[in-house]
């Protein structure tokens, strides 16, 4: 699948676990546009959502259930997302 420029930029940002704020600062698009495209990439399974577990002191994958609060999660490219990003 061919990635759009914004999909490519977002995937480029999440090679490592990153909060939504970092994606906003690295990708020069409006917040609403980034949020919509990020949701699409999550739906395609190109990006995983994570939350920080303070007991374990690490990020853990979680189900993406609150699409109205993109700031509540951190994001990481999945294997499928990395393959799509690197075949461009």
Q: Residues 48, 35: contact at Cβ < 8 Å?
A: no
- What pLDDT, on a 0 to 100 scale, did the predictor assign at position 87? 85
What does each of the 88 residues of the chain score in pLDDT, given as a tens digit? 689 999 999 999 999 999 999 999 999 999 999 999 999 999 999 999 999 999 999 999 998 876 788 999 999 999 999 999 998 6
Q: Which domains, and CATH codes, for the chain?
A: 5-86 (1.10.10.10)
Six token digits for residue 75: 């994001």
Task: Supply the pLDDT for residue 1.
Answer: 65
CA-nearest of 32, 53, 46, 55 to 75 is 46
């Amino acid at each position: 699948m061919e990635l759009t420029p914004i999909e490519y930029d977002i995937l480029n940002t999440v090679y490592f676990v990153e909060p939504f704020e970092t994606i906003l600062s690295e990708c020069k698009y409006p917040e609403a546009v980034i949020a919509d495209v990020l949701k699409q990439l999550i739906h395609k399974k190109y990006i995983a959502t994570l939350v920080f577990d303070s007991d374990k002191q690490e990020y853990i994958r979680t189900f993406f259930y609150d699409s109205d609060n993109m700031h509540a999660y951190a994001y990481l490219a999945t294997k499928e997302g990395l393959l799509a990003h690197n075949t461009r």
